[in-house]
Chains A and B, each alone.
Chain A
């Protein structure tokens, strides 16, 4: 079964850090470019970051540039999002997804609050 499973979300204080993980199975992860997408409570979808299959190309939304770092380990079939200097406005459900949009994880919730 083709599957993406996110983990690592939780409650963190403003200014803190979290590392999200996304475990892929059922497909050749190393061949696929990946995105992180987030959704604040009651709001729409916001694209966060992109990484190519070989990690050679990376993009970030302006809202997270300089604070978030996307990476992947193809040997472990895993995608990561290191989130530093977190702000209240980063509170959201974070999804990993294939660039084509045909496979999404179930999401992991990040809450930034004191």
Chain B
């Protein structure tokens, strides 16, 4: 299963609403997770089962979608949110990741 994220990168300002999409090459129900990764650090789980917020993750992060089309939304971008975001399908092996979306400061 291939995952295609868009955009590959984006520039945004603090307070902006940001949306990242992830499209699967075949249906994966709601078996999708979203991760945030900062330079030199391990990925951090944000969302699982497409829309369930991981414990401790701020509520400005939300996920939606099922089947083949998924979205990660940051409702009001904060300085600590500048990072790279990855989706990963949990439907089957190999457990593919999207290519990543880098969120940069405008």
Give A residues with C-beta under 8 Å from B. Answer: 35, 37, 44-47, 50, 59, 61-62, 95, 97, 100-102, 104-107
Contact = CB atoms under 8 A, between A and B. Distances in A.
7 contacts: A44-B86, A47-B88, A47-B95, A50-B95, A61-B94, A100-B45, A101-B48
B45 A101 contact: yes
A101 B44 CA distance: 8
A111 B48 CA distance: 32
A46 B98 CA distance: 9
Nearest to B43: A104
Contacts of A45: 35, 37, 43, 86, 88, 97, 100
A29 B55 CA distance: 20
Given A44-B100, A45-B100, A101-B88, A59 B93 contact: yes
A26 to B, nearest CB: 15
A44 B99 CA distance: 6
Contact of B42 (A47, A50, A100, A107): A107
Interface residues of B, number: 20
Closest 7 CB pairs of A and B: A104-B42, A47-B95, A59-B93, A45-B97, A44-B100, A101-B45, A102-B45
A94 B97 CA distance: 15
